[in-house]
């Protein structure tokens, strides 16, 4: 089994309310779910207007496929014009 969790720390520069932040972050989350078939959740900064943390969990049949999906997910998030990527952290889940 090959699995990893990718966490994105995001800045939403145009947001002036929680509603505006959700309107910017929701398409990112839904786009990741539908395009890459991964598990996604907003993890932190729920009450801050211009910050969000998103976690993405990926399981794949090989390390090469896992790395390819992680790279594609990161490119997707970076390409979004309404959010700015501040930091990325990857946690690899080891098979026991």
pLDDT tens by residue, 34-91: 999 999 999 988 788 899 999 999 999 899 999 999 999 999 999 988 899 999 999 9
Q: What is residue 77's predicted lDDT score, i.e. its pLDDT?
A: 94
- Give how many domains the chain has, as a whole number: 1
| Domain with 54 in it | 2-93
| Residue 7: φ, ψ to 5° | -115, 130
Are 58 and 70 in contact, with CB atoms under 8 Å apart? yes
CATH number where 69 lies? 3.30.70.1120
Go through the chain and tell me how many residues it has.
Answer: 96
What pTM was computed for the model?
Answer: 0.86
């Amino acid at each position: 089994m090959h699995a990893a969790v990718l966490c994105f720390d995001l800045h939403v520069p145009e947001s002036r309310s929680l509603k505006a932040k959700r309107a910017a972050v929701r398409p990112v989350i839904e786009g990741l779910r539908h395009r890459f078939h991964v598990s996604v959740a907003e993890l932190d900064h729920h009450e801050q207007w211009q910050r969000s943390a998103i976690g993405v969990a990926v399981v794949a049949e090989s390390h090469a496929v896992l790395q390819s999906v992680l790279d594609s997910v990161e490119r997707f998030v970076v390409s979004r014009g309404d959010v700015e990527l501040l930091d990325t952290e990857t946690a690899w889940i080891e098979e026991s």
